[in-house]
Amino acid sequence: MITRRQVIAASLLPLASWQTASGQATAPLSDQERALHALNRLSYGPRPGDAAAIASQGAGPWLEQFLASQLEPSKLALPQTLDQRLQGFATTQLSQAALIGRYREATQANQAAQRASGPNSNDSDTAAALTKARRELVRPVLVEASSARLLRAMDSPAQLEELLVEFWFNHFNVFAGKGQVAVLVGDYERRAIRPHVFGRFRDMLSATARHPAMLIYLDNFQSVAPGYQPPGRQVNPNAARLTGLNENYARELMELHTLGVDGGYSQRDVTELARMLTGWTINYRAALSGSQGDLFVFDPGRHDRGSKEWLGQKVESGGKSEGEMALDLLATHPATARHIAFKLAQAFVADQPPPALVQRMAARFTATSGDLKAVMQTMISSDEFWQRESFGSKFKTPYRYLLSTLRALDVSDVQDIPPLMQVLAQAGMPLYGAQTPDGYKNVEAAWMNPEALAQRVQFSAKLAERRASRTANADGDTAVLLGLPMFTAATRASVAEEPAQLRTALLLGSPDFMHY
Amino acid sequence: MTGLSFWSCGQASSDASLAQRKLVVVMLRGAVDGLSVVVPYAEPAYADSRSSTALAAPGAEKGVLKLDSRFGLHPSLARLMPFWDQGALSFVHASGSPDSTRSHFDAQDYLESGTPGRKSTADGWMNRLLSTMPGPAAPTRALSMGATPQRIFAGAATVANLGLGPRALDAKVIDEPRMQAALEKLYAQDGNMARTYKATTEGRSEMKRSMANGAMDAGADKGAASAGSFAADARRLGNLISKDRQTQLAFTSVGGWDTHVNQGGALGQLANRLASLGEGLEALAQGLGDSMKDSVIVVLSEFGRTLRQNGTGGTDHGRGNVIWLLGGALAGGQVLGDWPGLDARALVDGRDLAVTTDFRAVLRPLLQGHLGLGEAALAQVFPDFSGSLQGKLLRSA
């Protein structure tokens, strides 16, 4: 047996250089480092103004104030320019009915174009008419939703709120490429996600379960009791002929939204939950009559009234309350607490999050009945969050890379958003474009590859070149970047040896900047 | 599922010819409905279970294309029939993963790690294959097509990466010598990035050189669908593989198969997806050109879909699926595998086609007979697995 004394003695042997390295690897973060870490992890990256504020206030006081304010986003007013920009996005003010109306109009225009074209017409004319309707009616809704998301992420002082909107949208992912979801993603984010990111998990779960975007994306709006006979004419002509269950939402509700894949449910539980959720659908009649409110409706005629057995308990026939009971149970299940805690810790702390931290966050989730602000507080006040191993250890996703680049160069109020959407799409991370319900991963293994490096270096170099061509001072951006705290001495020294016109791109392409 | 296959008697081809052999894996993410791809038209339970999505028997209007007395191919895949007729296309039905998960994400993970049921496996089986294949390493020996890293290629061995779209290999800033000299120094501080960076520059210069070598046939993209389509990307991939004499392994994936609603039959959603996939596979084969005779293309998906269509004209997550095998190296023209039938008693959980052939039992003999892997290497690629599909998969050993 090796004694503790022997271990200590052995560790003293390699002497100075080893001790220094080891000391650095475990030393607590300095105040400066903590401030940078906070900006990296709790915002989309430092801006020049942040560096200036840290310098003038001192890192310690700045950090204390930053952390407190990030957890109280309602007290952080949006800058006027951003606020005005957001107000100007007309489609973000539309009701769900009006949004669906636009989609319907585009579909009808398409059908009219197809009818008019006839067998001998020019195909390219038809195709042009098809894309015109989408371009004019559907595309602007998606572009405005994307603009609002990206501009807020760039310029909102409530940065943690924006990170959490991204996180929770991704957790409850819907895909803009699926039918009417194209016009609903913005409304989904505004109503089902954003209001709850510092609120209760149960409320967000409920809001996503009822939102037309989720009901369409995972098909529950069409899932009906076996043998269902629709009353009269189908209101939505594009709907499938409904004859029974669709278990898509029920499965992902347990696997992805709550319990997690190893949460201890069976195929039978999936089917039974799908039965319990029959009748949770969209009120398309209200949509047609231009209702201003939410379009969710529970339709008892579609509901499977039989008794069910789900997760080992008998479920009495209770209409809508069966689904509510299911959401209650899932929201408070210990497997859900673990699953949510793991995902948050993986996104904010480390690709392989420390198990003890996950456990404490899960315990806090359970103790507070899913108070998401409390869970974030536990995480941010943990030793694990601030440990050196975590510092600069995560690899940026394309989304974070794009935003952190713009923030580092103090770009704000970007007028032309589609080129940014294109950058994300090319990198394999189109905004609102994750096709599958698990959303995007946020670990290095999912994003670091040769194509990513080639694209990031390309983006940085072209951005630097364009900006340099517009100003007399080509070195301005390099100076701005070097004022930021994330570049190591080695990177600074290495970049200083290179030609001036490459330096901005090299800093943005450096390992220091690709990580956070 | 086990048994001695003919090539395990062992006479490997000469090394020179082994070095020409290629394996391309195309993964259909989202679980394609295998019962609509290779349709068991002779089973009464098939049509009975699918009131609006069943395909008609061969000979009927919009019927399946006859493969044999039991199975027919989806009519949207008509472009693949010439391969069947030439003996360059086979299928293994009722195949898949032994793990019973119906989670897309776990099931895909198992298919890519090559260790069903075990989540802790860090690397992908194609990366293990790359490190154990006989012959020298090279920067473009393995090629991953797409913007993001693929789980199946995760691991220590270096994989080249071809981006999507016609401009993937256009000159980029990262190709400029001055920039490269600077980046190389910068990335030297960070082991993982240095490795990725090396793969970037070496891979890109090799790929660009190959494509410049006897530039793409003028007409190569002619007749292909839009430049951004899978067919165009697949043709480019095939072309690159055939021109770069070092490339032996390639992978890409195609999504959009999760047809829970309005799946359609001979026409409709799934038919459209299959038509563009068929076009893509044909384009890949055309891109491969002469190399097609030394190639095996494997198309596989994480699990199959329910026998019975659901209440919304679609199908839900099931179990057994069909693996597609395309290429000149195959003894094609066969629907292989032990067909369990669609009787109520044969279905898993009373609803799904059973898995009678482990996907590794299809891949293992290909790695052995086609790529020349020995037992030790096979044990690294698929640890704790020794099954092998009964029947003759390859044209010659």
**Which residues 242-271 of B are in CB contact (within 8 Å) with A?**
255-256, 258, 260-262
Q: Looking at the predicted structure, is the pLDDT value of residue A484 above 80?
A: yes
What is the 8-class DSSP label of residue A77?
A: P
Instruction: Please report residues of A whose CB lies closer than 8 A to that of B261.
Output: 219, 222, 240, 246
List the domain boundaries for chain A.
Answer: 334-390, 398-514
CB spacing of A448 vs B192 below 8 angstroms:
yes
Q: Looking at the predicted structure, is the pLDDT value of residue A483 above 90?
A: yes
CB spacing of B183 vs A457 below 8 angstroms:
yes
Q: pLDDT band at B189, cuts 50/70/90?
A: confident
What residue spans of A381-437 are helical by DSSP H? 398-408, 418-426
Structure confidence at residue B223 (pLDDT): 44
Structure confidence at residue A147 (pLDDT): 98
User: Locate tokens 């094609």: which residue?
Assistant: B332
> Scanning every residue of chain B, which has its alpha carbon at the shortest distance from the alpha carbon of A241?
B312
For chain B, the farthest-separated pair of C-alpha atoms sits apart, in whole angstroms, at: 68
Tally of CA atoms within 13 A in the half-sphere of A441 that contains its CB: 16
CB spacing of B189 vs A427 below 8 angstroms:
no
Beta-carbon pairs below 8 A across chains A and B? 161
> Scanning every residue of chain B, which has its alpha carbon at the shortest distance from the alpha carbon of A224?
B311
Instruction: Please report residues of A whose CB lies closer than 8 A to that of B173.
Output: 457-458, 461-462, 505
Q: Which amino acid is at A313?
A: Q
Q: Which domains does chain B have, with CATH numbers?
A: 6-381 (3.40.720)
d(CA A63, CA A85): 29
Best mutation target, B162, B310, B348, B352, to test chain A (most A CBs within 10 A): B310
Q: pLDDT band at A109, cuts 50/70/90?
A: confident
Q: pLDDT band at B226, cuts 50/70/90?
A: low
What is the 8-class DSSP label of residue B14?
A: P
Instruction: Tell whether B78 is within 8 A of chain A (Cβ).
Output: no
d(CA B273, CA A7): 63
Of B129, B44, B162, the C-alpha closest to B383 is: B129
Question: How does pLDDT run across B57-115, given as a tens digit for each residue?
Answer: 999 999 999 999 999 999 999 999 999 999 999 999 999 999 999 999 999 999 999 99
- Left if phi > 0, otherwise alpha if psi is -120 to 50, otherwise beta: which for B249? beta
Q: Looking at the predicted structure, is the pLDDT value of residue B126 above 90?
A: yes
CB spacing of A247 vs B262 below 8 angstroms:
no
Cβ–Cβ under 8 Å, residues B125 and B154: no
Q: Which helix (H) or strand (E) holds A60?
A: helix A59-70
For chain A, the average pLDDT equals 91
d(CA A448, CA B147): 10
Question: How does pLDDT run across A65-94, given as a tens digit for each residue?
Answer: 999 999 999 999 999 999 999 999 999 999
d(CA A362, CA B20): 54
Structure confidence at residue A232 (pLDDT): 65
The arithmetic mean of pLDDT across residues A422-444, rounded, is 97
d(CA B244, CA B250): 12
CB spacing of B148 vs A498 below 8 angstroms:
no
Structure confidence at residue A23 (pLDDT): 44
B88 min Cα distance to partner chain A (Å) = 33
The minimal CB distance from A502 to the residues B182, B196, B260 is found for: B182
Spacing of C-alpha B105 from chain mean position: 17
Instruction: Please report residues of A whose CB lies closer than 8 A to that of B29.
Output: 436
Of A10-19, A169-178, A196-205, B332-341, give the lowest mean pLDDT range: A10-19
B190 min Cα distance to partner chain A (Å) = 7
**Which residues 306-365 of B are in CB contact (within 8 Å) with A?**
310-314, 316-317, 349
CB spacing of A488 vs B187 below 8 angstroms:
no
The arithmetic mean of pLDDT across residues B18-30, rounded, is 96
Cβ–Cβ under 8 Å, residues A265 and B103: no
Q: Looking at the predicted structure, is the pLDDT value of residue A12 above 50?
A: no
3-state DSSP call for residue B307? coil
- The percent of residues above 90 in pLDDT, for chain B, comes to 89
Question: How does pLDDT run across B364-394, given as a tens digit for each residue?
Answer: 999 999 999 999 999 999 999 999 998 999 9
Q: Looking at the predicted structure, is the pLDDT value of residue A21 above 70?
A: no
* CA distance between the termini of chain A: 42
Q: Which amino acid is at B235?
A: R
Instruction: Please report residues of B whose CB lies closer than 8 A to that of A448.
Output: 149, 192-193, 196
Q: Which residues contact A68 (CB under 8 A, 6 or more apart)?
A: none
d(CA A124, CA A129): 9
- The percent of residues above 70 in pLDDT, for chain B, comes to 92
Q: Looking at the predicted structure, is the pLDDT value of residue A4 above 50?
A: no
Instruction: Please report residues of B whose CB lies closer than 8 A to that of A452.
Output: 147-149
Q: Which residues contact A255 (CB under 8 A, 6 or more apart)?
A: A261, A263, B103, B105
**Which residues 105-134 of B are in CB contact (within 8 Å) with A?**
105-106
Q: Which residues contact B30 (CB under 8 A, 6 or more apart)?
A: A435, A436, B104, B255, B256, B257, B258, B301, B302
Instruction: Please report residues of B whose CB lies closer than 8 A to that of A247.
Output: 310, 316-317
Best mutation target, A451, A501, A507, to test chain B (most B CBs within 10 A): A451
Best mutation target, A174, A252, A254, A267, to test chain B (most B CBs within 10 A): A267
Cβ–Cβ under 8 Å, residues B169 and A447: no
Instruction: Please report residues of A whose CB lies closer than 8 A to that of B163.
Output: 451, 454-455
Question: How does pLDDT run across A220-230, given as a tens digit for each residue?
Answer: 999 999 988 87
Structure confidence at residue B224 (pLDDT): 44
**How many CB atoms neighbour CB A15 within 10 A?**
8
Tally of CA atoms within 13 A in the half-sphere of B392 that contains its CB: 12
A251 min Cα distance to partner chain B (Å) = 8
Structure confidence at residue A112 (pLDDT): 82
Question: How does pLDDT run across B285-335, given as a tens digit for each residue?
Answer: 999 999 999 999 999 999 999 999 999 999 999 999 999 999 999 999 999
Instruction: Tell whether B187 is within 8 A of chain A (Cβ).
Output: yes
Instruction: Please report residues of A whose CB lies closer than 8 A to that of B106.
Output: 261
Instruction: Please report residues of A whose CB lies closer than 8 A to that of B312.
Output: 219, 222-223, 240, 242-244, 246
> A103: which 2 tokens?
């989609």
Instruction: Tell whether B154 is within 8 A of chain A (Cβ).
Output: yes
Structure confidence at residue B36 (pLDDT): 98
CB spacing of A450 vs B173 below 8 angstroms:
no
CB spacing of B193 vs A514 below 8 angstroms:
yes
3-state helix, strand, coil in chain B (%, to 5): 35, 15, 50
Cβ–Cβ under 8 Å, residues B319 and B353: yes
ipTM rounded to 2 decimals:
0.88
The arithmetic mean of pLDDT across residues B21-33, rounded, is 97
CB spacing of A435 vs B255 below 8 angstroms:
yes
User: Locate tokens 């290179």: which residue?
Assistant: A498
| CA dist list (Å): A395 to A378, A380, A398, A447, A469 | 23, 20, 10, 8, 30
Cβ–Cβ under 8 Å, residues B84 and B285: no
Q: Looking at the predicted structure, is the pLDDT value of residue B13 above 60?
A: no
Q: Looking at the predicted structure, is the pLDDT value of residue A241 above 90?
A: no
Residue, of A283 and A240, whose pLDDT is higher = A283
Compute the C-alpha angle B280/B295/B129, nearest 5°. Answer: 105
User: Locate tokens 């190389």: which residue?
Assistant: B184
Instruction: Please report residues of A whose CB lies closer than 8 A to that of B317.
Output: 247, 251
Instruction: Please report residues of B whose CB lies closer than 8 A to that of A175.
Output: none
Cβ–Cβ under 8 Å, residues A316 and A350: no
CB spacing of A505 vs B173 below 8 angstroms:
yes
For chain B, the average pLDDT equals 92
Q: For residue B301, list its beta bridge partners.
A: B28
CB spacing of B260 vs A251 below 8 angstroms:
no
CB spacing of A491 vs B189 below 8 angstroms:
yes
The minimal CB distance from B311 to the residues A224, A428, A514 is found for: A224
**How many CB atoms neighbour CB B279 within 10 A?**
23
Query: Residues B370, B376, B379, B384: is their CA dihedral positive or negative?
Result: positive
Q: pLDDT band at A111, cuts 50/70/90?
A: confident
Q: Which amino acid is at A6?
A: Q
Structure confidence at residue A475 (pLDDT): 81
CB spacing of A426 vs B256 below 8 angstroms:
no
d(CA A494, CA B184): 10
Question: How does pLDDT run across A376-412, given as a tens digit for each residue?
Answer: 999 999 999 999 999 999 999 999 999 999 999 999 9
Q: Which residues contact B61 (CB under 8 A, 6 or more apart)?
A: none
Question: How does pLDDT run across B258-283, given as a tens digit for each residue?
Answer: 999 999 999 999 999 999 999 999 99
Structure confidence at residue B213 (pLDDT): 67
d(CA A301, CA B183): 65
